[in-house]
A = this chain, B = another copy of it.
Amino acid sequence: MDDASGPDRLPRGSRLTFSRRTLMAAGGVALGTPALGLAASTVPGSPAAAATGATKKITIYAESLGNNQYGYGLAPGQASIPGPLLEMYEGDTMEITLVNNTTQRLSIHAHGVDYDTASDGAPLNNSFNNPGETRTYIWRSHEMTAAAGRRFMPGSAGYWHYHDHAMGTDHGTAGVLRGLYGGLIVRRRGDILPDKTFTVVFNEMMINNRPTTNTPTFEANLGERVEWVAIGHGNLIHTFHLHAHRWADNRTGMLEGPNDPSIVTDNKDLNPGSSFGFQVIAGEFVGPGAWMYHCHVQQHSDTGMAGIFLVRNADGSMPPAASADIDRFRGHMSKMSTAHGAMDHTK
């Protein structure tokens, strides 16, 4: 990214801490300034209302990965599935120059953020890239704005996602199936930043379009603050289950206070077009080890929608039994693969 203001430019790798005082001040700025009232009183649809943040300009390259797979990348030859995790703060704008280096029509459509029809990413609005074409999409975002009755119209903060909306059909069905998707996080000022973020996509019977024998392993050290962005795609129901860790089913995964009524869960529906996110402290209360995450639809987990969240010791060393556990898991997955035939649905 071209710009140093985003959360992705803040120090990672070590646990981020904030004093309570700092966060309260930040919260006060976000909610109590004239800017907020101003936003609420301006004409709806005015881009000015969201103009207080930074503008990030990035270029994304859509490319074929062979094997009938496609990906988005931040540089030529670096396309991946999922595409790069994009992050912004409420109020920021992201200008995405999408370079279509494929022979297919495609686009980029975002959930959660603000865009004109020209940046919708939908063929309906003539918003797509023909083969070889470059096109700029602009995503804006905004903080909550005051409404009547002490209520607020919601801001843009959330665990969102982006995906193709034009390859194969006018809903991008081929593009999504083949890997054109990624995570998009809009943070509120004062949100706690994680040490690392994992993006996990349940897409038909695949996780991140990987074959059963090679589902993603997500690694962290004991005590690291780990953020998960979960995205659902395709046509099937899925439920995302994580062993030994749990989160509040709300915007951040944490409780906003002792009276926050949110349900705490470790198993959540992840159906097509949906996304959610949360943060956990790796291994907190349970220790290091090889912990499974999987779809809890029995047939789906049995046929390979399962992977490992490897929580290493605090110093990064391998927990004693974990290597054997992972071997056992991989042997099991491989056996299933043989029994059920090739599970790589991407072919």
Contact = CB atoms under 8 A, between A and B. Distances in A.
A205 B140 CA distance: 33
A10 interface: no
A288 B45 contact: yes
Interface string A208-220: 0000000000000
Interface in A256-303: 256-269, 271-276, 281-292, 294, 296-302
A277 B240 CA distance: 19
B262 A149 contact: no
A347 interface: no
Nearest to A287: B45
Contacts of A300: 235
B120 A169 contact: no
Interface string A129-154: 00000000000101010011111111
A234 interface: yes
Interface size of A as a range: 35 or more
A17 interface: yes
Contacts of A20: 148-150
B264 A112 contact: yes
Contacts of A173: 298-299, 301-302
Which of A112, A156, A158, A285 is most buried by chain B, counting CB atoms within 10 A of its CB? A285
A52 interface: no
A124 B44 contact: no
B261 A256 contact: yes
A259 to B, nearest CB: 5
B296 A44 contact: no
A154 B248 contact: yes
Contacts of A329: 124
A223 interface: yes
A202 interface: no
B152 A235 contact: no
A152 B258 contact: yes
A126 interface: yes
A263 B329 CA distance: 34
A77 interface: no
A222 interface: yes
A258 B27 CA distance: 9
Ranked nearest first, the 9 interchain pairs of A and B with the lowest CB-CB distance are A273-B296, A250-B261, A117-B289, A23-B149, A44-B284, A114-B285, A152-B255, A45-B287, A267-B273
29 contacts: A23-B149, A27-B149, A27-B258, A44-B222, A44-B282, A44-B284, A45-B222, A111-B241, A117-B290, A117-B325, A120-B292, A124-B332, A144-B255, A144-B258, A150-B257, A151-B254, A152-B255, A154-B253, A170-B302, A171-B298, A173-B298, A233-B298, A250-B262, A251-B262, A251-B263, A252-B261, A257-B259, A268-B274, A271-B297
Interface of A: 17-18, 20, 23-24, 27, 31, 43-45, 47, 49-50, 111-112, 114-117, 120, 122-126, 140, 142, 144, 147-158, 169-171, 173, 176-177, 190-192, 222-223, 233-235, 237, 239, 241, 243-244, 246-269, 271-276, 281-292, 294, 296-302, 306, 314, 321, 325, 328-329, 332
